[in-house]
Amino acid sequence: MKRLEGKVALVTGAGSGFGLGIAEKFAAEGAKVAIVDIKEEAAKAAAHQVGASALGLAADVSKTADVKAAVQKTVDAFGRLDIVVNNAGISHRNRPMLEVDEEEFDRVFAVNVKSIYLFAQAAVPVMRGQGGGVFINVGSTAGIRPRPGLTWYNGTKGAVHLISKSMAVELAPDRIRVCALAPVAGETPLLATFMGEDTPQKREQFINSIPLGRFSKPEDIANAALYLASDEASMITGVVLEVDGGRCI
């Protein structure tokens, strides 16, 4: 028996990086998957890559109408919605905190944090109607052990972690579980933004800060998401699971 047989999942930011890895893993384990990304081409290409059980949807996760439409289209296509993975995220480039302007600050909070509010508004009623569901919110080691130069991004991830715990206690009576993942720096297009500059020296400096001695990979994050989304984790809610090679010890 596949671990997500019969489940319907929606994964945001699944046109690339961790989200794509999560969508691929979920589909391989039997889920039907809505792949949501602000880049329409990327969403469609990812859905094509994942196969017949996937649907590619263009949406900006910081926009109410887009989020509502993505949830509605998923339910229309697959008949239900069991798992929402709030993975889409952005950062300002690593630089001194006072150099990040207000517009960029607002955008990082809208994409990383407001999106969770919007998906809760759209998906909780669906899950309540079905008798349960799971949210997995992608936080970061940045929200536990912050690095300099990423102050405002770090703050969004601290918010992701606390919102996940608070949603978990508030939604537990509805049998809706809410967990967060805290990946360490990973091999995705976002990595250069976190490092400030992608040089062999910077890579070495980051890797030296991770006890297991490597960057995380989409498959590492997907394996953790799979466990938390599956019924194997039915007694687990409100955790922030570090997928970090020991970075936060």
Ligand X SMILES: NC(=O)c1ccc[n+]([C@@H]2O[C@H](COP(=O)([O-])OP(=O)(O)OC[C@H]3O[C@@H](n4cnc5c(N)ncnc54)[C@H](O)[C@@H]3O)[C@@H](O)[C@H]2O)c1
Active site residues: 153
Question: What are 244's two structure tokens?
Answer: 């970090």
Contact between 29 and ligand X by CB under 6 A: the answer reads no
Q: What is the dihedral of CA 231, 234, 240, 241, to 10 degrees?
A: -50
Give the span between the Cα atoms of 206 and 201, in whole angstroms: 9
Which of 192, 233 has the CB closer to ligand X?
192
The single residue listed with the structure tokens 């302007």 is 101
Restricting to residues 114-143, which ones interact with ligand X according to CB under 6 A?
Answer: 138, 140
Give the span between the Cα atoms of 27 and 52, in whole angstroms: 9
Shortest spacing between CB 69 and ligand X, in angstroms: 13
Q: Which stretch binds ligand X (CB under 6 A): 2-10, 25-33, 128-136, 181-189?
A: 181-189
The single residue listed with the structure tokens 């969770």 is 116
Which of 94, 237 has the CB closer to ligand X?
94
Contact between 89 and ligand X by CB under 6 A: the answer reads yes
Among 9, 13, 119, 171, binds ligand X (CB under 6 A): 13
Which of 135, 194 has the CB closer to ligand X?
194
Give the span between the Cα atoms of 170 and 164, in whole angstroms: 10
Contact between 230 and ligand X by CB under 6 A: the answer reads no
Contact between 22 and ligand X by CB under 6 A: the answer reads no
Give the gyration radius of the chain's Cα atoms: 17
In order of 31, 132, 138, 164, 174, the CA distances from 88 in angstroms are: 19, 23, 8, 15, 25
Which residues sit at the interface with ligand X, rule CB under 6 A?
12-13, 15-19, 37-39, 42, 59-62, 87-90, 111, 138, 140, 183, 185-186, 188-191, 194
